[in-house]
């Protein structure tokens, strides 16, 4: 798998960052929508460490982006963009966080409980079995288990979806476990949030009110560390706003406004 897809015509002034980690391709619908007016990069993260993903993204942006660039990150991609904007502020014009993960450990415990509460009893048993398989160090190929648990959570993460097709190219369990394990440690230690003090660009968070990642876990911590931060809550919206029947149009209106001047074609 190559680590970059492009949409529209250069200059590439926008980059969209997928979630997971280890779920490349999920931002393709957003990239296609934006490509009518902007040149868009869709980096596909392949590195198996947080530092590796930061460096991989830095390299892609420097080699192909029109700098400074605007990053639009979804879920894990929002957190990765946050770290890149802190480590390499000269590269980033604006950071847009969509359905971001939370930035303090005290908010994280609610996510899994919310998801499980939205599953049927049979689905909860299935999710438990799949998680057991993922946690088993002797289990070989974990891709199928991760893909299935992803489908279960995509369904309960959504409020009123137009579709549940996320366009993920391939599920990457090794990347998911290794990178997320590191990222969770950074959050628990407080080092993730502390990176925000190094961010110099404007930051906008767009978050659904039905997202199991609690909005307070994004708005409150980031308001405390970012000098130029705005939070926008979308009503009747889950984790992926572009899939939502009620929120999709408003999401794209906000995103288009935040991206500002359109590129020349």
Residues belonging to the chain: 265
pLDDT of residue 261: 55
pLDDT of residue 85: 98
Tell me the pLDDT tens digit for each residue of 17-28. Answer: 999 999 999 999
Q: Are 129 and 150 in contact (CB under 8 A)?
A: no
Q: How far apart are CA 10 and CA 39, in angstroms?
A: 5
Q: What is the pTM of this model?
A: 0.95
pLDDT of residue 65: 97
pLDDT of residue 263: 41
Tell me the pLDDT tens digit for each residue of 73-97. Answer: 999 999 999 999 999 999 999 999 9
Q: Where are the beta strands (DSSP E) in 169-218?
A: 203-208
Q: How far apart are CA 38 and CA 105, in angstroms?
A: 36
pLDDT-based confidence at residue 141 (cuts at 50, 70, 90):
confident
Pairing state between β 203-208 and 69-74: unpaired
Q: Are 60 and 5 in contact (CB under 8 A)?
A: no
Q: Which residue has the higher pLDDT, 145 or 78?
A: 78
Residues 6+ apart with CB under 8 A from 83: 50, 54, 192, 195
Q: Tell me what percent of the residues of the chain surpass a pLDDT of 90.
A: 90
**Rg of the Cα atoms in the chain:** 17
Domains and CATH numbers, the chain: 4-106+165-259 (3.40.50.1820)
pLDDT of 59 above 60? yes
Tell me the pLDDT tens digit for each residue of 219-251. Answer: 999 999 999 999 999 999 999 999 999 999 999
Burial 234-248 (b: 16+ CB within 10 A, else e): beebbbbbbbbebbb
Q: Are 77 and 52 in contact (CB under 8 A)?
A: no
What is the residue-averaged pLDDT of the chain? 95
Mean pLDDT of 51-66: 98
Q: Where are the beta strands (DSSP E) in 2-91?
A: 4-7, 12-17, 39-43, 69-74
Q: Are 96 and 74 in contact (CB under 8 A)?
A: no
Mean pLDDT of 130-140: 83
Q: Which residue has the higher pLDDT, 128 or 263?
A: 128
């Amino acid at each position: 798998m190559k680590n970059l897809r492009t949409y529209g015509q250069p200059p590439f002034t926008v980059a969209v960052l997928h979630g997971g980690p280890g779920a490349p391709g999920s931002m393709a619908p957003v990239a296609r929508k934006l490509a009518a007016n902007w040149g868009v990069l869709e980096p596909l993260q392949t590195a198996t460490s947080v530092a590796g993903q930061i460096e991989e993204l830095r390299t892609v942006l420097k080699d192909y982006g029109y700098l400074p660039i605007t990053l639009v990150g979804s879920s894990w991609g929002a957190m990765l963009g946050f770290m890149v904007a802190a480590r390499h502020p000269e590269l980033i014009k604006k950071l847009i966080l969509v359905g971001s993960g939370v930035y303090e450990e005290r908010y994280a415990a609610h996510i899994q409980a919310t998801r499980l509460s939205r599953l049927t009893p049979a689905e909860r048993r299935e999710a438990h079995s799949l998680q057991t398989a993922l946690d088993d160090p002797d289990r070989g190929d974990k891709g199928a288990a991760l893909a299935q648990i992803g489908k279960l959570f995509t369904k309960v993460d959504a409020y009123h979806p137009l579709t549940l097709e996320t366009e993920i190219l391939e599920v990457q369990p090794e990347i998911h476990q290794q990178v997320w394990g590191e990222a969770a440690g950074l959050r628990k230690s407080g080092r993730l949030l502390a990176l925000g003090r190094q961010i110099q660009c404007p930051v906008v968070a767009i978050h659904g009110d039905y997202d199991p990642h609690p909005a307070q876990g994004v708005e409150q911590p980031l308001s405390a560390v970012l000098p130029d931060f705005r939070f926008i809550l979308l009503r009747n919206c889950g984790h992926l706003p572009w899939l939502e029947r009620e929120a999709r149009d408003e999401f794209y209106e906000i995103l288009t406004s935040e991206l500002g001047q359109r590129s020349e074609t």
